[in-house]
Structure 1
C-alpha cells in the first residue's frame, strides 16, 4: 500500500459497517471476532454462523490476495512461533477483558 485512497477506504468502511449492521439486525449478534471465535472454541450451540463468519474472513483474505497480490505484500521480521504466541496472547487478553478490538471499533461497544 503506497498511498491513501479515500474512495477505497470509504467503500471498505461502508462494507464493514453495513455487514456489522446486518449481523446485528438479522442475528442479534455483535461483530466482534474474539467473541465469535471464542464461541467456536467454547462449544456454543450456534456454531454454524460462527464458523461461516470466520471462514468468510479467511476466504475473503485469500480472494483479495489473489485478485491484488501486490497490495497484500507485507514483510514480517518475526518468526512464525513468535507471531502465533503474540496472536494467542492478544486473543486471550481481549477475552479476559470481555471485549474485542474489532467489536469495539466497528460497533462502538
Structure 2
C-alpha cells in the first residue's frame, strides 16, 4: 500500500466537492492515481421534506500506478452548494443505531 502524500490528500478532499455530474466527475477521476475502470460517484439525498435534493457526496475508485492495489473512498463535508440542504440534515440531532449496530448521528446516518 502506497502512502498518499498530504498535499495529494488535501487536493482530493477539496476537489470532491465538485463531483456533481458526469463532466465534473470526469475531471476528478482524470487524476493519474485512479483507474477509471471502476470509478463511480456516490450520491446522497440531503435535506428534509421542504428542502430536499440529491447531491454528489463522494467518490470511489480503484487505484492506478503505485496505488493499483488500493481503493480510494473520498467523501465531502457539508456545503451550501445544495441550497443549504446539508445543514438541514446536520440539524437532525440525536443518535440512532446504524447498520453497524453502533450509535450514529441521525443526520449523517440518513445521508450515508
Q: TM-score, normalised to structure 2's length?
A: 0.30
Greater share of residues in helix: 1
Higher relative contact order (CA 8 A, sep 6+): 1
